[in-house]
Amino acid sequence: DMGGHDTYMHKEISEQPDAVDRVLRGRIDDRFSTVHLGGLNLDPREARSVRRIKILGCGTSYHAGQIGAQMIEELARIPSDAEPASEFRYRNPVVDPDTLYIAVSQSGETYDVLAAVQELKRKGARVLGVVNVVGSAIARETDGGVYVHAGPEVCVVSTKCFTNTVVAFALLALHLGRIRDLSVADGKRIIAGLRKLPAQIAEMLEGEAEIEKLAAEYAGAKSMMFIGRVRGYPVAREASLKLKEISYIHAEAYPASELKHGPLALIEPALPTVAIVPDDDLLDKNRAALEEIKARSGRILAVAHQVQEKADHTIVVPKNEVELDPILMGIPLQLFAYHTAKAMGRDIDKPRNLAKSVTVE
């Protein structure tokens, strides 16, 4: 039942305020400015002894893991990174006893992720899961974890589950941070930011008509560039993946800082750029990148906290705490991908060549 929406994708995008509310519900502990994660199965002493975190997933879940790794590194100061599960599995990685491994999966059935979990367990590693489907294979094989509570996701491409997974990582980062060196004041600040998310997402969804108009303008492009730096980079990668999956427009994502090391050669009026420009300490650097693109007559769509002079269009996103910016900045670009694909007459819920859960290698 699509409840009045024309596609499951549109329905699932629209459900995000409620979905985010669900992942937060019952977990915030104001007394200690932290969160409770009942199924984590990692006691404070163990949490303190973790020296490194490695996050494994595929596709959109890998991108959510990339944002998660940045959040954990920022809030808990534990060196963290994300890697595609299958790449990890086949490069004979060093499995270190002080590393905590986290498997991310919407379905909990993705073979590449499951096989990585099994390989890690066989080698004695501690593996947690950040999973949506309760009781799925990955949920069962991991030692504990955080359920994402996005509810069923039917559209082949992931939207609400991506957002909820990133919020689940914010909770985990806050939890680990407050066991380690994150102050009470910072804990409070992040909790206040988390509580604002559902209303801010609802506010962004109200801007849909404007995004629909923008999408109609960009729907003719053969290829698009997505750029961002640090917190904005995984957002750019995810937005680029979403666009290519459902519109079949070729898109690639680059760190804005890498433009001048090569991809700038592609910039011309026929190759539009979507730029993620949060109001953080990299704002001036991002603006400089927009200037470089404009100097080559490239069209720019910015997703930012304030209107960007160098951009042809800006989608303005509400401000939250800098650490939580990536959660909000991706949402208008889900609608952008959706409306671009719709303008091109694509089969949005069932893009060609793709399946909802990839249970084979």
Positions in the binding site for ligand F6R (CB under 6 A): 58-61, 105-107, 110, 113, 157-158, 245, 357-358
List for the chain the helix, strand, coil content (%; round to 5): 50, 15, 35
CB atoms within 10 A of CB 295: 11
List, in sequence order, every residue forming a beta bridge with 252; answer none if it has no partner.
225
Decide whether 61 or 70 has the Cβ nearer to ligand F6R.
61
Cα separation, 107 vs 113, whole angstroms: 11
Q: Please state the closest distance from residue 354 (CB atom) to ligand F6R, in A.
A: 7
Cα separation, 260 vs 277, whole angstroms: 17
Q: Please state the closest distance from residue 6 (CB atom) to ligand F6R, in A.
A: 18
* Residue with tokens 């750019």, as numbered in its chain: 236
Q: Please state the closest distance from residue 321 (CB atom) to ligand F6R, in A.
A: 26
Pairing of strands 313-316, 34-35: unpaired
Decide whether 294 or 356 has the Cβ nearer to ligand F6R.
356
Decide whether 55 or 290 has the Cβ nearer to ligand F6R.
55
Cα separation, 277 vs 313, whole angstroms: 12
CB atoms within 10 A of CB 208: 16
Decide whether 117 or 328 has the Cβ nearer to ligand F6R.
117
Per DSSP, the three-state class of 25 is coil
Cα separation, 332 vs 310, whole angstroms: 20
Cα separation, 147 vs 130, whole angstroms: 6
Cα separation, 224 vs 288, whole angstroms: 19
Rg (CA), the chain: 20
CA distances from 125 to 115, 119, 153 (A): 14, 9, 30
Instruction: Yes or no: say if 289 and 275 are a contact pair by the CB < 8 Å rule.
Output: yes
Residue nearest to ligand F6R (CB): 59
Cα separation, 127 vs 20, whole angstroms: 25
Decide whether 103 or 256 has the Cβ nearer to ligand F6R.
103
CB atoms within 10 A of CB 192: 12
Residue type, 108: G
Cα separation, 334 vs 9, whole angstroms: 9
Cα separation, 110 vs 173, whole angstroms: 24
Q: Please state the closest distance from residue 307 (CB atom) to ligand F6R, in A.
A: 30
Q: Please state the closest distance from residue 104 (CB atom) to ligand F6R, in A.
A: 7
Q: Please state the closest distance from residue 124 (CB atom) to ligand F6R, in A.
A: 24
356 catalytically annotated: yes
Decide whether 177 or 233 has the Cβ nearer to ligand F6R.
233
* Residue with tokens 């069209």, as numbered in its chain: 299
Decide whether 83 or 323 has the Cβ nearer to ligand F6R.
83
Q: Which residues are catalytic?
A: 356
